[in-house]
Structure formats: structure tokens, C-alpha cells
Chain A
Amino acid sequence: LAKTTQPISMDSYEGQEVNITCSHNNIATNDYITWYQQFPSQGPRFIIQGYKTKVTNEVASLFIPADRKSSTLSLPRVSLSDTAVYYCLVGARGDAGGTSYGKLTFGQGTILTVHP
């Protein structure tokens, strides 16, 4: 499984756009990039997943450059409720025929604190 590196913590203010970058230099060809959000005393929550270029959903955007050695999670106009730990994970999707079975490896994550 590819190792990921992301900032330990970030600070922002309400209404700002937040970009969290994750480095994954040894990402494999069949690896996908997945981001999770975790609030205190709760389980992580899936946010977004992508393979290359840009993916957008109702919560966030994920930007992946052509070399796929890094990715950036973008949270538009954050609010106080976005204060959480954000995890970047890299691994095979484990689709039919795969063998990873979705064995996720969580690093330390990025603690995002949104201030009023």
C-alpha cells in the first residue's frame, strides 16, 4: 500500500476555501485516492474518491495531477462544523477480481480547525 504524507494540522476561518494536500509518491497504477473525514468520538466518513484529474461532489472537490504523486482535497466555504480530522488514503479499489478487499490504511490525518 502506498504511503501518504499530509500536514499534521491546518487552520482556517469560516467562509474560506481550504485545500489539504496529500503526497503519495509511490502510488501504484491501480491505486485510487480516497479521503475520509472524522469528528471526535465518531467513525470516519467517506468524502470523495478519485483516480485522476478532478472529481467533485456535493461536499468537496479532489484534484489529482497527471503524475498522481499528490492530490488536493478542496473544501469550499468551510464552516465551524467542518472542524475535523481529514485522512488521505491510497489503495486499490478492490473491484471484482481484486484481492485488496478494501483494507484501508489510515495515517495520522490532518487536523483542520475552522475559526469564527
Chain B
Amino acid sequence: SQTIHQWPATLVQPVGSPLSLECTVEGTSNPNLYWYRQAAGRGLQLLFYSVGIGQISSEVPQNLSASRPQDRQFILSSKKLLLSDSGFYLCACKTGPTYNEQFFGPGTRLTVL
């Protein structure tokens, strides 16, 4: 079974500072990987997905970017954080026989002040 590690678990950053969130996956190879964001009290929003190394698709235009330097590593970045970037960031991978079955990591709580 898959295991997803995300770090850091919590992060407080000032507006305008850079961001780097990391996600690593164990127990699977060549996974589909996803970055979601959840604002307080709201549903999840898909930000990026990747079907392989170096392959990134963006779902929402924003000041965030994603990279996949290794098969089981997925990184979310920003050069300059905005207040609206605050939220709960979740990394997920496909699990099971269908793409609708995804396994989520523990998440990173980001607060931008």
C-alpha cells in the first residue's frame, strides 16, 4: 500500500516570501500525483497533476508552480506568496484500479501573514 509524506506539516510565511512544499510517495512506482488546496471551511481545489517525471498540468492559473523531479517526488512552489495562498495543501496519488480512487497525504497547513 502507498504511503505519502508531506513536509512541513505546518508553515507560517510572510506575504511575498517564497514557498516550497514537498511530497514523496512510497509503495508505488510511476504514480499519478496531485496537488490540492483546501481553504478554511471549503472543499478541495485541484491545483496540479502529474502523470510522470517532468510532466505537469495546471488546473488553476495562479502564482504557484509544481515540479516532479523524480518519479515519486512532487514539489509545490511559489516565488512570492499572497495572503490568498493560505490553506491546507494536500498531495495525493492514484491508488486502486480507477483514477477516482486517490490516496491523500497528511497535508501541510500554510498560513500567509
Contact = CB atoms under 8 A, between A and B. Distances in A.
Interface of A: 32, 34, 41-46, 49, 87, 89, 91-95, 98, 100-109
Contact of B32 (A41, A45, A101): A101
Identify the 7 closest CB pairs spanning chains A and B, nearest first: A43-B104, A102-B99, A94-B99, A106-B44, A106-B43, A93-B98, A34-B100
A46 B59 CA distance: 22
Contact of B46 (A41, A45, A105): A105
Interface in B41-87: 42-46, 49, 51, 57, 59
Interface in B81-113: 88, 90, 92, 94-107, 109
Q: Which of B36, B59, B88, B104 gathers most chain A CB within 10 Å?
A: B104
- Chain B, interface residues (CB within 8 Å), range: 20 to 34
Given A106-B44, A108-B43, A41 B99 contact: no
Contacts of B57: 101
Contact of B101 (A41, A43, A46, A103): A46
B99 A93 contact: yes
Nearest to B98: A93
Contacts of A41: 88, 107, 109
Interface of B: 32, 34, 36, 42-46, 49, 51, 57, 59, 88, 90, 92, 94-107, 109
A44 B88 contact: no
Given A34-B100, A101-B32, A108-B43, 12 more contacts: A41-B107, A43-B107, A46-B95, A49-B98, A95-B97, A102-B49, A102-B102, A104-B100, A105-B46, A106-B43, A106-B45, A107-B43
A34 to B, nearest CB: 4
Contacts of A32: 98, 100
B44 A44 contact: yes
A93 to B, nearest CB: 4
A98 B51 CA distance: 13
